[in-house]
Amino acid sequence: MPSLTRRISPWFLLILGVTLLGGVLAAAAVPTRSGVLATSGIFVLVLGGWVVSLCLHEYGHAVTAYRGGDTSVAAKGYLTLDVRRYADPGLSLVLPLIILLIGGLPLPGGAVWINQWALRSRARRSAVSLAGPAANLALGVVLIITVAAFPGMPLPVAAGLSALAYFQIIAFVLNMLPVPGLDGWGALEPYLSAPARRLGERVRPWAPFVLLALLLFVPGVSALFFAATQLLFGAAGGNQELFRLGYSAMFFWRNL
């Protein structure tokens, strides 16, 4: 088996740098008392952090597949955290970005192509699907702990990190739904009957869009979904007040 590629892509480092710049701008807003600077910093921090989380999500899939037997992911560049390897410019970045800004839903966005036949067992196939959402959940918990552990951090930074943590919780819950095309279905699929798998293949291209339409345009469904994710966010130790401040700054145009 070839050695695991550990080179981190400069593109990932650039995105990480932009995210950190957002945090610096948010922190700089405190002494200057600039609402515009605080809002701009939070906006850059959350958007940059969301792209970072997309890379970590797809890396989770890829590294788990590699350890499960699909060594082709190394040659495809999936183990470098290079966002270009995971993304189709339209479907993976532009569309999810629009949905995030309009509806507040962080879609999965990226994609890695796994050779399922190379994986050693059904459990490995399930683990590959679960690894992406697990990365979102882990990042969300780390952000929540960071905010709690440093109560003296500037308020805009804490608000931005809390909003970013909440988006990770949303991404985790959304991806874990047992809908064809999402990771929750991928985790179950190896254990389903052949007719169920065939049905999943038929509806996979459009099932996530039906779910998206329900979440965006059906008030009862969207209210239930966001209530459940906020409950999970609070149960994980998330600060609801800080999250709401960051969320409001992230969608500043709604307050105009």
Q: Can you tell me the distance from the alpha carbon of 117 to that of 187, in angstroms, rounded to the nearest whole number? A: 15
Q: Which of 58, 189, 201, 241 is catalytic?
A: 58
Find the angle CA(98)-CA(12)-CA(100) to the nearest 5 degrees: 15
The alpha helices in the chain, defined as continuous H runs, are 10-32, 35-68, 72-75, 83-86, 95-103, 122-149, 155-176, 183-188, 194-203, 207-217, 219-235, 240-250
Three-class SS of residue 89?
A: helix
Active site (annotated) includes residue 58: yes
* Spatial separation of the C-alpha atoms in residues 227 and 211, rounded to whole Å: 17
10 Å Cβ neighbour count for 151? 8
Quick count: other Cβ atoms within 10 Å of Cβ 113?
13
- With beta carbons less than 8 A apart as the criterion, state whether 212 and 105 touch: yes
Q: Give the 3-state secondary structure of residue 193.
A: coil
The answer to whether residues 45 and 157 touch, using CB atoms and an 8 Å cutoff, is: yes
Residues annotated as part of the active site: 58
